[in-house]
A and B are shown apart, each in its own frame.
Chain A
Amino acid sequence: MDFRDTPDEAAFRTELRAWIDDNLPGGWRDRAPTSGRMDESVSRVWSKKLYEAGYAGLTWPKEFGGQGAPYTHQAIFLEESARAETPEHIGIIGLGMAGPTIIAHGTDEQKSAHLAQTLSGEEVWCQGFSEPGSGSDLASLRTKAEDAGDHYVVSGQKVWSSFAHIADYCILVVRTDPDVPKHKGITYLLVDMHSEGVEVRPLVQITGDPEFNEIFFTDVKVPKSNVVGEANAGWGVAMTTLLHERGTLGFALTARLEVLVGKLIALATETGADADPLIRDRVAQQWIELQALKFTNYRALTTLMKTGVPGPEGTIAKLHWSESNQRLGKLALDILGVRAQLDNEDSDWSGFWQYQQLRSRGNTIEAGTSEILRNIVAERVLGLPRSR
C-alpha cells in the first residue's frame, strides 16, 4: 500500500500541471464563480488543445488516437483538471461511453471514422437510450428500426439526451424485432444527427436550463454499416456503454465534488458561517465523505490495474456521490440563509449555489436511479435474491 505517486506518476503530474498553467484561456483563473454551466465555445477550443497535447483519451490504445497510458494517468488528469477548474472536454458522452463501446464492439471502419474525431472534439456525441415510456426498464424501449435492405428506417422518440442539440452523432438503441423477448430484439446504431428526419427539442429542467433534450426520429435512414455488434444483439453492447458510464464516472464526479467542497469552504469563511459549530460539523462531514469517495476510487483503480476487471466501486461512488452532492448544495443554501432565496445577479455568487442545489436533484436520477443502483448492489454484488 502506497498512496504516493510513483516517479512516473509524479513526472506525469508535474508536466500536466505546467501544461494546464500555460494553456488555460486568458483570464480564466480570475473569472467570477458564476455558474456550473458549460460554455460550449470554450469547451470546443479546450478539447482541441487537449487532443493535440495528447491528454484526450489517455487510456485509449495508440492506434485509435489515444496514449495507451495506465488508468492512474487518467485519474491524475481528472484530479489536476478539477484542481485547476479547467473547462470540460466537449465530448463527455463520446469519451466516456460512445468511444469505449466502439473500441469494444465496433468495426474497423467505425473505429477509423469516429475515434480520433471524438477525442479531438470534432465529433460530438449524444446518447439515445431512455424513452418517455422506458426509463429504468430500458429494455422495454419502443423506438423502431425497420429493415429496408442496406439500411434501417428509424422512428420513435428518445429523451434526457445531453448534448443532443450540438451533437453530430448519437449512440442509439432501437427495436429491430418486436416478436422476441424484449432484450433479444434490440440493435445498437450510430446515427448521424444531421440526417433528415432528426429533430431535437430542448427539455427545460427545474434549473431553467435546457441541458437535456428530446430527440424525435421520423423515418430516418441509417445505413447498416452503422450497426455496432450484430443486429438484435444490441443489449449486450448497451451494457458495455453503461458499464463505462459508471466505471469512468467515479473519478470525474469526485473531482467535481472536490472543487465544490473547496468553494463551500470559501463560502463558509467569507460569510462568517465558519464560527457556527453546526455548520463546521457539516462542512467537515462533506470533506470526510469526499475523502472516502476519493480513496474508494483509488481502490477501484488498484483492482482494475491488478485484475483488469473493474470492481463494484463505480456503483458505490455514483450512489454516494449523488447524495453527498445533494447535501452539499443544501448546506450552501443554509450558509447563505435568507439570501439563498435571491437568484442570478441579485444573489451572492451570482446564483451559483442556487443552481448547484437545484441541479443536484437530478444526480440521484440520471445515469441509473439510486433505486436501480441499490438493486445492482443487492443482486449483483451481494448476491441477494432477485426482486423481479
Chain B
Amino acid sequence: MDFSFTEEQEMLREQVRSFLASEFPPERIAELAESGEGWDPESWSTMAELGWMGLSIPEEHGGAGMSFLDECVLFEELGYGLYPGPYTSTIGVALPALQSAPAVLELIASGRARATFAGAEPNGARTIEDTDRMTTSAEPDGAGWTLTGVKEPVADLSIATHVVVSATAGEGSGLWLVEPEDNEVTQLGTVDTTRRMGRLTLEAHPATMLVAPGKGDHVLTKIRRRSDAALALEAVGVAQKVLELARDYVSERKQFDKPVGSYQAVSHQVADTYVSTELARSLAYWAGWSVAESTEDADRAAAAAHSMAGEAAVSACERSIQVHGGTGFTWEHILHRYYKRALSILQFNGTPAAQRAAVAATLLGQ
C-alpha cells in the first residue's frame, strides 16, 4: 500500500505549478477570460514542448508512454492555476476515443491538435453515456460516413481542431471524428469564460469512424470514467487554491483590532474547507489510480470522486468568498473565476446526484 506520487511526478507538479504561476498570473487569466478567443494558443505549443500533451500517448505515436496517473498531476495543477485551455477536454475526456486514430494522437502529442468530445444535445442526451435520447445520426457515404445533428454544449469547441462526436447508426451508437468548419461552430455565452462551450451543427458532414455503431458503449464508459477522475482532480486543485486565498486573507485582514481569522466564526469555515478538500483529494487520487490501473472499482471510484470533489470545490469557493467579505464579491478579485470553474466542474457530465445514483446502483442494485 503506497499512497504517494513518485519523485518524478512530484517534480512534474513543481514544474507545472511554476510554469502557470509565471505565465498565468491572476491579471493574465482575467485578460484571457474577457478576450474574444478565451485562451493563449502560444501556451499550447510550450506545454507540448514540455512533454505534457503526450504523457500517456504511446511512444510510437510521439508520446511518453506513461500513465493516466501522470496526467492526474496536470489536471490538479491546471485546476489550481485555473489554466484557460483545452487540456482537460483533450487529454482528460477525448483521448480514449482516439486510440484508433494514431495520426491524431501524434498531432496531439506534438501540440498541433486539440480535441474535445461532443455528446450532449440541446433537447436530448445530457451525459456522455446517455445514448438512448441521442438524435445525431451517422450515414454511410461511400467508403466513409457523414454526420447530421446538433451537439450542445460542447466544452472548448471553438478552440478544438478535432471533435469526437457520438451518434447513432443502424446498429446502435458509435463514435466519429470530425474536423469542423468555422460555420459549423457557434461559441455560446458561458458562466465560466475560462472554459467556454459551443454548439456544433452538422449537416451531412464527412466524418471518420472511430468506434463502430453498436460498439460505442464500452468506449463511452471509458470516456466517462476518465473525465470524472480528471474533473475530480481539477476540482481538488481549485479547492486547494481558494483555501489558500482564504487562509492568507483572514490572517492579514484586521477588524476590531484583530485578524479576522482569529474569530472562530471565520476560522472554522476555513478549517471545514481544509477538511473537505483533503477528503476529496483522497477520493480523487484513488479514482486516478483506479482509472490508470483499470481496476474493477474504477467506474464507481471516478463517479464518487467527481461528486464529492465537485461539491467540495463549490463550497470551498463559497466559503472563501464569504470570509473575504465584500472584496471576495468583486469582479476584480480572482475568486469568482475559480467559483465559476467549480460550478462548471460540478455539472460537467451530469450532476453529483446522478453520479451518486450510479454509485447507489452498485450498492443497492438497479
A74 to chain B, nearest CB (A): 12
| A159-B275 Cα distance, complex, nearest whole Å | 30
Question: Given A284, A293, A302, which contacts B3 in the complex, CB threshold below 8 Å?
Answer: A302
Contact between chains at A72 and B1 (CB < 8 Å)? yes
**Is A374 part of the contact surface with B, judged by Cβ < 8 Å?**
yes
Using CB atoms, name the residue of chain B closest to A1: B289
Mask: chain A, 20-39; 1 = CB below 8 Å from B; 0 = not = 00000000000000000000
**Is B5 part of the contact surface with A, judged by Cβ < 8 Å?**
yes
Do A306 and B4 contact each other (CB < 8 Å), given the known contacts A1-B289, A374-B272?
yes
- How many interface residues does A have (CB within 8 Å)? 50
Do A299 and B282 contact each other (CB < 8 Å), given the known contacts A1-B3, A288-B304?
yes
B356 to chain A, nearest CB (A): 4
Q: Chain A residues near B69 (CB, 8 Å)? A: 1
Contact between chains at A291 and B286 (CB < 8 Å)? yes
Contact between chains at B3 and A298 (CB < 8 Å)? yes
Contact between chains at A284 and B270 (CB < 8 Å)? no
Contact between chains at B267 and A296 (CB < 8 Å)? no
Mask: chain A, 320-357; 1 = CB below 8 Å from B; 0 = not = 10000000000000000000000000000000000000
Q: Chain A residues near B279 (CB, 8 Å)? A: 289, 292-293, 296, 316, 320
| A316-B273 Cα distance, complex, nearest whole Å | 11
**Is A19 part of the contact surface with B, judged by Cβ < 8 Å?**
no
**Is A112 part of the contact surface with B, judged by Cβ < 8 Å?**
no
The stretch among A57-65, A205-213, A380-388 that forms the contact with chain B is A380-388
Contact between chains at A319 and B286 (CB < 8 Å)? no
**Is A2 part of the contact surface with B, judged by Cβ < 8 Å?**
yes
Contact between chains at A301 and B275 (CB < 8 Å)? no
Contact between chains at A284 and B286 (CB < 8 Å)? no
**Is B256 part of the contact surface with A, judged by Cβ < 8 Å?**
no
| A387-B251 Cα distance, complex, nearest whole Å | 12
| A379-B359 Cα distance, complex, nearest whole Å | 36
Contact between chains at A298 and B1 (CB < 8 Å)? yes
Contact between chains at A296 and B278 (CB < 8 Å)? yes
Contact between chains at B285 and A374 (CB < 8 Å)? no
| A274-B4 Cα distance, complex, nearest whole Å | 37
**Is A230 part of the contact surface with B, judged by Cβ < 8 Å?**
no
Contact between chains at B278 and A316 (CB < 8 Å)? yes
**Is A9 part of the contact surface with B, judged by Cβ < 8 Å?**
yes
| A24-B2 Cα distance, complex, nearest whole Å | 31
Mask: chain A, 277-308; 1 = CB below 8 Å from B; 0 = not = 10011011101110111111011011000100
Contact between chains at A378 and B278 (CB < 8 Å)? no
Mask: chain B, 249-293; 1 = CB below 8 Å from A; 0 = not = 011000000110111100110111011001111110110111000
Question: Which among B1, B267, B278, B307 has the highest number of chain A CB atoms within 10 Å?
Answer: B1
| A385-B264 Cα distance, complex, nearest whole Å | 10
Contact between chains at B267 and A291 (CB < 8 Å)? no
Q: Chain A residues near B356 (CB, 8 Å)? A: 280-281, 284-285, 288
CB contacts under 8 Å to A, within B1-60, are 1-6
Do A319 and B275 contact each other (CB < 8 Å), given the known contacts A6-B1, A288-B356, A383-B247?
yes
Do A3 and B286 contact each other (CB < 8 Å), given the known contacts A285-B356, A374-B267, A381-B274?
yes
| A5-B290 Cα distance, complex, nearest whole Å | 14
Do A316 and B3 contact each other (CB < 8 Å), given the known contacts A295-B285, A371-B264?
no
**Is B142 part of the contact surface with A, judged by Cβ < 8 Å?**
no
Do A265 and B264 contact each other (CB < 8 Å), given the known contacts A295-B283, A295-B285?
no
| A320-B264 Cα distance, complex, nearest whole Å | 18
Contact between chains at B363 and A287 (CB < 8 Å)? yes
| A359-B157 Cα distance, complex, nearest whole Å | 53
**Is B143 part of the contact surface with A, judged by Cβ < 8 Å?**
no
Q: Chain B residues near A382 (CB, 8 Å)? A: 247, 270-271, 274
Using CB atoms, name the residue of chain B closest to A295: B282
| A277-B357 Cα distance, complex, nearest whole Å | 8
| A39-B262 Cα distance, complex, nearest whole Å | 45
Contact between chains at B267 and A375 (CB < 8 Å)? yes
Using CB atoms, name the residue of chain B closest to A262: B363
**Is A4 part of the contact surface with B, judged by Cβ < 8 Å?**
yes
Question: Given A9, A291, A375, A378, which contacts B1 in the complex, CB threshold below 8 Å?
Answer: A9
| A285-B251 Cα distance, complex, nearest whole Å | 34
| A298-B282 Cα distance, complex, nearest whole Å | 9
Question: Given A268, A293, A319, A386, which contacts B364 in the complex, CB threshold below 8 Å?
Answer: A268
**Is A377 part of the contact surface with B, judged by Cβ < 8 Å?**
yes
| A147-B323 Cα distance, complex, nearest whole Å | 51
Do A320 and B282 contact each other (CB < 8 Å), given the known contacts A281-B357, A287-B359, A288-B359?
no
**Is A313 part of the contact surface with B, judged by Cβ < 8 Å?**
yes
Q: Chain B residues near A134 (CB, 8 Å)? A: none
Mask: chain B, 332-366; 1 = CB below 8 Å from A; 0 = not = 00000000000000000000010011011001110
| A96-B234 Cα distance, complex, nearest whole Å | 38
Q: Chain A residues near B261 (CB, 8 Å)? A: 378, 384-385
Q: Chain B residues near A218 (CB, 8 Å)? A: none
Using CB atoms, name the residue of chain B closest to A278: B353
**Is A195 part of the contact surface with B, judged by Cβ < 8 Å?**
no
**Is A225 part of the contact surface with B, judged by Cβ < 8 Å?**
no
| A284-B364 Cα distance, complex, nearest whole Å | 9
Do A1 and B4 contact each other (CB < 8 Å), given the known contacts A277-B357, A377-B271?
yes
Contact between chains at B275 and A387 (CB < 8 Å)? no
B358 to chain A, nearest CB (A): 8
Question: Given B3, B6, B251, B357, which contacts A299 in the complex, CB threshold below 8 Å?
Answer: B3
Using CB atoms, name the residue of chain B closest to A311: B278
| A265-B363 Cα distance, complex, nearest whole Å | 7
A315 to chain B, nearest CB (A): 8
CB contacts under 8 Å to B, within A103-150, are none
Q: Chain B residues near A377 (CB, 8 Å)? A: 271, 274-275
Mask: chain B, 235-259; 1 = CB below 8 Å from A; 0 = not = 0000000000001001100000011
Question: Given A1, A293, A319, A371, which contacts B2 in the complex, CB threshold below 8 Å?
Answer: A1
**Is B78 part of the contact surface with A, judged by Cβ < 8 Å?**
no
Q: Chain A residues near B280 (CB, 8 Å)? A: 292
A301 to chain B, nearest CB (A): 7
Q: Chain B residues near A294 (CB, 8 Å)? A: 282
B interface vs A, CB < 8 Å? 1-6, 69, 247, 250-251, 258-259, 261-264, 267-268, 270-272, 274-275, 278-283, 285-286, 288-290, 301, 304, 307-308, 353, 356-357, 359-360, 363-365
| 3 A-B pairs with the lowest CB-CB distances in the bound complex, closest first | A295-B282, A378-B267, A284-B356
CB-defined A-B contacts under 8 Å, sample of 25: A1-B4, A1-B6, A1-B288, A2-B2, A3-B3, A3-B289, A4-B1, A5-B1, A277-B357, A281-B356, A284-B359, A288-B308, A288-B356, A292-B308, A298-B282, A299-B281, A301-B3, A302-B1, A302-B2, A375-B264, A375-B268, A378-B268, A384-B250, A384-B270, A387-B262
Known: A285-B356, A288-B359. 11 other contacts (CB 8 A): A3-B286, A274-B365, A280-B360, A284-B360, A288-B283, A288-B308, A291-B286, A295-B283, A316-B275, A371-B268, A383-B251
